[in-house]
Every structure is written in structure tokens, then in C-alpha cells.
Chains A and B, each alone.
Chain A
Amino acid sequence: MIVIDTGNHIAALAAKMAKPHVIAAYPITPQTTIVERLAQYVENGEMDAEFIRVESEHSAMAACIGAASVGARTFTATSSHGLLLMHEMLHWAGLARLPIVMVNVNRALGPGWNIWSDLNDSLSQRDTGWIQFYASSVQEAYDNIIQAYKIAENEEVMLPAMICYDGFILSHTSMPAEIPEQHEVDKFLPEYKPAWKMDVEKPATHGNIVPPEYYIQIRYDMHLAMERAKKIIQEVGEEFGRKFGREYGLIHEYRCDDADYVMVTMSSIAAEGRVAVDRLREKGEKVGLVNLRTFRPFPREMLKYDKMIVIDRDISPGLGGVVYNEIRGNGSEVYGFMAGLGGMDVSYKDIERMYELAKQGKEGLYPLEVK
């Protein structure tokens, strides 16, 4: 069935259809309408979940950790400063290998106070052990949430997963999305059966002191799980494609085959970038586009193009664009632009301009400081 609604309402619908047992969340702009909608679902009996009203995002994640530890499927959602307040608990969820699924509606960090899109909130959670998906449409937001549970709960993975999309640009924009029937989702995403969970009948100590020789293994095993997640993300994306007609992987290539330059970006800029690529192609420019679907695990080995132009909606002070620096040094010629910070509108015309600038060997903060 095709439904038209905002990114947040469609995300709430996806969460409902994934049938989590526990939701713990705290409202924050621009995530609020997800939590409102979920509370409504639980209140009117459409959703059979425990909705825990918490006093902060730190508590929201702590509640999800507790619930996931006893084998519950969990969901939460946040944005910006809310995500930052969770930071300690994000590491906790990752290290405890709990497959919690969360939506982060990307929003800039203050001060200066700003409620608009910027990816620095989630990108700065890079090392917490969370899988990170980025959506460029409302449909992708829905599809990523459903797939995230299946990937996170896979025994070869067992890592939490974050689904990210731009504040307002997707969260508050109504677009059509194909919503499968509940029984089809149930078949694709069966009930969560953890291999291990806390159980009062079988008491065990959990989270006790770990000496260095074990800790190093725990930490490295997380890394290996993230590496294994690459294969699982691919497999689950293919299975999703067979069942629902929309196939997913770690990256999505658009007109890259004979491209001299490949633009690499994610979130809504990746959708807008397709329009720029089509227009440039009409002018005879050999250019393609890669939409990065996952930032963790990072598909570095897949990004082997001779010349790349990376567009970041973020900045790592002292280094530059986050995605740009993850790619740089792989043997390719890479140009980096930081654009759209704090919700600055990035149109296809801006993307075409960045392409022209890169061809002249220029890069930097667009449009203010390009050298």
C-alpha cells in the first residue's frame, strides 16, 4: 500500500511494524513527532509495547539497555543534544552487544542554537560500536528500520543500529512510501530470539571487572562483528529486495560505470545529487554518484574510483569533512566539500557548482571558503 506521510510518521509506522516490546524515548525537536505517534499507537492499543516515559535521553538508552539485556526487542529515537546526552550509554549498548534500534533525526549542535539538519550529531558517535544507516528518502527510512532489526539481531553481528535522516528535510516532509502488509514484515523479521539473555532463573554476573587480556578481545571482537556486518547488511538488503522489490547494500551507485568523477555523499544530499548528475550528464560530463548507506561499518574498500568528490554535511574541527577524511588516502584523487551545515539549503545547482570547482582542483567550505 502506498502511504503519504512525513519521514517521522513513516519511521514511527516502521517501528510499530517491527513489533518492539519496549520503547523508551524522550522528545526533542525535530524527532518529537516520532515519539508522539508511538505513544499514540500504544495508548490506543494499536501497538502492544511497554512505553517507558523517561526523564532524559540518557535514561531512555539506559532503559533500552535493561530491556534488551533480558531479551526484549527495543526502540528509541532522538536528535542532536539528545543523542549526545546518550553518549555514555551508546558505548554501553555497543560493548554489551545489545541489538537496540534507534532513529536519530540529524540536527545541528549548539550553541549557536540551531534545529536544522547537520550530520555531526551522529557522526560524532562513530566509535560507539553502533551500525549507522543514512536515508535519502522517506521510503529508505522505513526500509532501513525494518532491516536494521534483522541485521542487529543477527548472531554474527549483535550490535546496536542507528537509522539517521535529515531533520526537517526528511523528518517533516511528506512523501509517498510503499508500506508492506504486517504479515509480510513478520515473515521477513521474525520474533527476536536472543542466544543469551539475563534470566533470574539462571543467575549470572554481568559487567564485572575484565582484565586487559580479556578486554582486548572483547573490544576487537566488536570490530570483527562490525566487519561481519558488511556481509549481513548486503545479504539482508538482497533478501529485502527479493521480498519487497527494493534492494539495498552498503552503497548505492548511480551512473558510475563510465564516470571520470564520482561524487560521494549521503542523506538527503545524495538524492539531490542524482538530479545534479542527470543535468551534468546531459551536458556531456562523465559523472556518477555514490549514496553511502552505511557509515559504520564503513565500506572503504568499495569506494575505489579514480577521482572522487566528497560532500560532507558536517565538519571535524582540525581535520575537515568527516566522510572525506575516512576516504582520503585510499589511492584515489579525492576532493572534499563541507556544505549545508546547520541546515543550509543544498540544491542541485550547488552540487553542480561543487563539481565544477573540484574539476579546477578546488575544495573546502562551500560556498564560503573554497580554495
Chain B
Amino acid sequence: MLKEIIFYGRGGQGGVTAANLLASAALKSGNKGVQAFPFFGAERRGAPVKAFARISDEEIYLRSQIREPDVVVVLDTGIMDVVNVTEGLKEDGIVLLNTPRKPSEVEMPCRVATVDATTIALNNKILVGGIPVVNTPLVGALAKLLDGVNIEAVKEAIKERFGKNAEANANAAEQAYNEVVL
């Protein structure tokens, strides 16, 4: 079963890293086909950016960009003023938002999941240049929403990627996994 995920965030926020961590965790969870790639644009810090991930139990031959995602992850809800994040979302697709609000408090024409990744990042003291790192908790939350990706694999992928702060990022991912609400 192919699952396609789009990450929306701002340049420098870690959307591409999130896609890579998810792909790595999916591979560790036993999926044969995984992919992670940035939107092929001119990226700059602060501007809205997109990253993609694909997960399948079979080898993936698709090389095109994702147009009809199963899950959309929004790292910064502020970009929803300028980007239509539900564009192309599959009928039973899910939007995962980084917000302290509950899904019932969000008005969107689709299934909504929420997790307060910013607060989780602050509590775990994962900051880069003073900015909370929300990508690792959001990947943790995805492990709850996606069949075939387990949280242990997410933590392992995080530990492989981050030298120092690996533990704090892995803890943040686990906390988000436990706190995400659909």
C-alpha cells in the first residue's frame, strides 16, 4: 500500500529533514519502498517550503512530485494563510497540524490531527538558533497516524541522524507520539 506525505513549513524549519527521518524510519519498520525529497524550488530561510515522502511495502518507481497526498503535515500553521495545504488531499486524507488546539477546534474540510510540537520542543529544550525544533516531534506523531511506521524506528532514525541532542529529539518524538489527537 502506497502512502504519500507532504510536509509544509518554512525554509530552515526542517521539513526536508522530517521527510528524510520518516523515510528512514519507514525503511527500518520493514517497508521496501521509501522516498524523501524536497520540492525542487529555490529555497530560502523563512519562505514557505514543501517536502515529500513516499512509503510502500513494494519498490517505488514514481519519480514525480506528490499531488494527491494521504497525509499533509503543517509545521507552521501561519503558512495556511498563503498556501492551500488541503489541495489534492485524498478523500480520507489527514492533515496533521502543529498547534495547541484540539482537532474539534479547527475548521477544515477534512480529517484533522493535532499535536503541540512547539511546546514539546520547548519542554525538551530542542532549539536551533533559539527556534524550537518541531520536525522531530511531528515525525513521532506521524508514527501514530501511519500504519507501517513504528515509533521505535523513528527514535532510532533520529538517533542515527543527530549526534548531540539525539536523546532529547527522540524523547520529543515519543512525547508527540503519545499526545497526538486525531
**Would you call the interface of chain A mostly helix, strand, loop, or mixed?**
mixed
4 extra interchain contacts, Cβ-Cβ under 8 A, other than A271-B62, A346-B64, A347-B67?
Answer: A115-B42, A168-B40, A169-B37, A175-B34
Q: Mark B22-45, 1 if CB is under 8 A from A, else 0.
A: 011001000011111110101000
A116 at the interface (CB under 8 A from B): yes
* A176 & B34 in contact (Cβ 8 Å cutoff): yes
The answer, yes or no, to whether A58 is at the interface (CB within 8 Å) is no
Q: Is the CB of A174 within 8 A of B36?
A: yes
Q: Are A272 and B63 in contact (CB-based, < 8 A)?
A: yes
Residue of A nearest to B63 (CB): A268
The answer to the question of A4 belonging to the interface, with a C-beta cut-off of 8 Å to chain B, is: yes
Q: What is A's interface to B at a CB cutoff of 8 Å? A: 2, 4, 115-116, 136, 166, 168-170, 172-176, 268-269, 271-272, 274-275, 343, 345-348
B165 at the interface (CB under 8 A from A): no
A139 to B, closest residue via Cβ: B59
Judge whether B40 and A172 touch: CB under 8 Å: yes
Does B37 lie within 8 Å of A168, measured CB to CB? Answer: yes
- Residues on the A chain within 8 Å of B36, using CB: 173-174
Knowing A174-B23, A176-B27, say if A272 contacts B37 (CB, 8 Å).
no
CA distance in complex: A269, B40 (Å)? 16
Nearest residue (CB) in A for B33 is: A176
**Which residues of chain A come closer than 8 Å to B65, judged between CB atoms?**
345, 347
Known A4-B23, A174-B23, A176-B27; contact A271-B37, beta-carbon cutoff 8 A: no
Would you list 10 pairs from A and B whose C-beta atoms are within 8 A, ordered by A residue?
A116-B40, A168-B40, A173-B37, A174-B20, A174-B34, A174-B35, A175-B35, A269-B63, A274-B61, A275-B61
Q: For residue A272, which residues in chain B have a CB less than 8 angstroms away from its CB?
A: 61-64
Measured CB to CB, the nearest residue on chain A to B39 is A168
- Asked if residues A345 and B64 are in contact (CB atoms below 8 Å), the reply is yes
Q: A271 touching B63 by the CB < 8 A rule?
A: yes
Chain B positions within 8 Å of A174 at CB level: 19-20, 23-24, 34-37
CA distance A346 to B67 in the complex (A): 12
- Docked Cα-Cα span, A121 to B151, in Å, equals 44
Residues of A within 8 A of B67 (CB): 347
Question: How would residues 57 to 92 of chain B score, 1 for a CB under 8 Å from any chain A CB and 0 otherwise?
Answer: 000111111010000000000000000000000000
